[in-house]
Amino acid sequence: MATLYGALAALQNSPSNKTPVGPLEAFPNTRTLLLRYTQTGSEAASDIVRLYKLPPGAIVIPQLSAVTSSGVSATTATITVGDYKPDGTVLDADRYSTALDVQAAGADSFTGGAAAATPFVTTEDSWLTFTYATLTGAVTASATLDFRVVVNFPR
């Protein structure tokens, strides 16, 4: 039976490493972004909301990211989370999450996006966005969507 090492364990086990290596030393540029969107009441299906401009080399970690809705008060309301170029060209509208139900108050973890299976490294400035995939019924002005997005930034 072989003894194998993950990336951090290999760094910790290295004979040339004389100091302890913890997750903060190994991944010092991983941050949690807290991003809020307050609805205007005029949102419609297919509207795209820009949340944060990601630099080249950033990696969104969808498995650790979530959205909390105060309840948008529509009959149906689902969003996707993805990214767009600064000029508005879509890169992937649901790269980080597909079909999150935000109609009622509550929290939803990102799920279903391609980046969960294959981490994506941005190659240029790009906007982290969400898109109202479905939105029917009246939307409440001042309802909020609070995003917790974990990102590893380039060094």
Residue 6's H or E segment, with its range, is none
Identify whether 11 is part of a domain.
no
Q: Cα–Cα distance between 66 and 55 in angstroms, integer?
A: 21
Contact 60, 120 (CB under 8 A): yes
- Please determine, for residue 19, whether its predicted confidence score (pLDDT) is greater than 70: no
Q: What is the pTM of this model?
A: 0.85
CATH number at residue 60: 2.60.120
- In tens, the pLDDT along 35-52 reads 999 999 999 999 999 999
DSSP state of 112: B
In a domain, 91, yes or no: yes
Residue 18's pLDDT is: 62
pLDDT in tens, 74-97: 899 999 999 999 999 999 999 999
CB 85, CB 46: distance < 8 Å: no
Reported as a single tens digit per residue, the pLDDT across 49-71 is: 999 999 999 999 999 999 999 99
Question: How would you write 28-56 as a 3-class SS string?
Answer: CCEEEEEEEEECCCCCCCCCEEEEEEECC
Residue 85, domain member (yes or no): yes
- Please report whether residue 52 resides in a domain: yes
CA-to-CA distance for 108 and 41, rounded, in angstroms? 22
What would the two tokens of residue 31 be?
Answer: 């941050």
Count of helix runs (H) and strand runs (E) in the chain: 3, 9
- 71 is in which domain, residue-wise? 29-152
- Total count of residues recorded for the chain: 155
Amino acid at 121: V
Q: Confirm whether 14 is domain-assigned.
A: no
34 or 6, greater pLDDT: 34
Q: What is the mean pLDDT of residues 22-45?
A: 86
Residue 24 pLDDT exceeds 60: no
Q: Is 101 helix (H, G, I), strand (E, B) or coil?
A: strand
Q: Is the pLDDT of residue 7 over 80?
A: no
58 in a domain, yes or no? yes
Q: Specify the number of domains making up the chain.
A: 1
Residue 77: inside a domain, yes or no?
Answer: yes
